[in-house]
Amino acid sequence: MTDIQTAQTGEAAPTGQATQAAHDADAAQLAADSIQTMPLGRALNAGLRRALQDDDRVLLMGEDIGKLGGVFRVTEGLQKEFGEQRVIDTPLAESGIIGTAIGLAMRGYRPVCEIQFDGFIYPGFDQITSQLAKITNRHEGSVSMPVVIRVPYGGHIGAIEHHQESPEAYFAHTAGLRVVSPSTPNDAYWMIQEAIASDDPVMFFEPKARYWPKGEVSLAGNPVPLHASRVARAGTEVTLVGHGAMVTMLLQAAEIAAQEGTSVEVIDLRSLSPIDYGPILESVHKTGRLVVAQEAPGFVSVGSEIAATVTERAFYSLQAPVLRVSGFDAPFPPAKVESLYLPDADRVLDAIDRSLAY
C-alpha cells in the first residue's frame, strides 16, 4: 500500500515483516490445498492424467483400459477425457502391444503399456528383453525408447494361477531396462510421471495389494528422484529393506519389534534397477544388521543381489550375516494357501531375532 493510499484510507501500510508473513501463510495454504488423500490406484490415475495433459505424445495402450478403465480401474475415465486415439483398447496380445509401442517410440511418441496381470507378461517377454531393452544400445544412443510398461504384480488378492506373480527379477537382470515399484500413493503419483518422462524404457511394477489403501498425495512440489531409495522408518539396531507391498509388511514388523524393545530401520527401495545403495549402506553402517524381504522367490533374486552387494561393500560393518525373507522357490500356490507362501510380519520378526542372536 502506498503513502497516498494510506492517507486516503487511514490504514497503516503493511511492514516488510507483515508482508512476508502473509506470503508464508498463502504458501502454506496452497501447500495444504495441494495435499489429497487417495488410494494408490487413484493416485496412478491422477499421475497418468497429468502426463496426458502435459504432453500430447503420451499414449496409453492395453487390454480393456479404455471403456472399462482397466481391471483395477486405474485408467478409469481417461479414454472419455482424452479420446480413443490416446487411450487405446488393444487386442489380447502382449507381444503385439509391446511391439507396437516400440514402433510408436521410434516415431516420437511416449507410449504407456498396461499388462493386465503379472503372469500375462511372458508372451511379451521377447519383445521387452530382446528388442525394447537393446534398441538404444544397438543404435549407439541415437534412438531413445521412452516406453513405460505398467505391471500389476504380487499376491494378497486371492486370485487364480498367473494372477499373483512377482517377475521383477527377470527385468532387473536385463541391461537396458529401468525397473521401479512404488509402495505409497504419493510415490505412485510422482513416479509414474517421472517414468513417462524418461527417455529409457521403464518397467513400472504396481503392487496390486496396495491399490486400495489410502494415503496422502502431494500434488505440488518436487518429487523424490525416480531411482532414489528412502528411509521409511528410522531405527538403530536392524535394517529392513523391501519394495512394493512388502514395505507395509516391514513397517508392521518394525512396529511390533519396537513394542518389544528393538529399534528397526525400514528402507523402501522404490527402484530395483538401478538400486540406490546410499541409504542402505548408511543404515547398515549404523545398525550392523540387514534383513532383505520380498514376495518373489529368493533364488537369484533382487534380494540376493542386495545381500551380495552389501556384503561386499559393508562387510566390516556387519555384525551378523545378511538374512533374506522371501516367497518359497516354488510356483505361486492356490489362493487358499497363499498366506503360507507369502512372507508375513512373523517371518520378518523371526529374521530380526536371528540377526540379533549373532
Q: What is the set of active-site residues?
A: 163
Nine cell digits for residue 14? 503493511
Chain center to CA of 43? 12
Beta-bridge partner residues of 36: 217
CA distance 135 to 102: 9
Nine cell digits for residue 314? 559393508
Tell me the CA end-to-end span of the chain in Å, nearest whole number.
70
From the number of C-beta atoms within 10 Å of its C-beta (0-12, 13-18, 19+), residue 231 rates as: middle
CA distance 167 to 340: 19
Nine cell digits for residue 243? 519394495
CB of 51 within 8 A of CB of 82?
Answer: no
**Residues 347, 348, 353, 358: is their CA dihedral positive or negative?**
positive
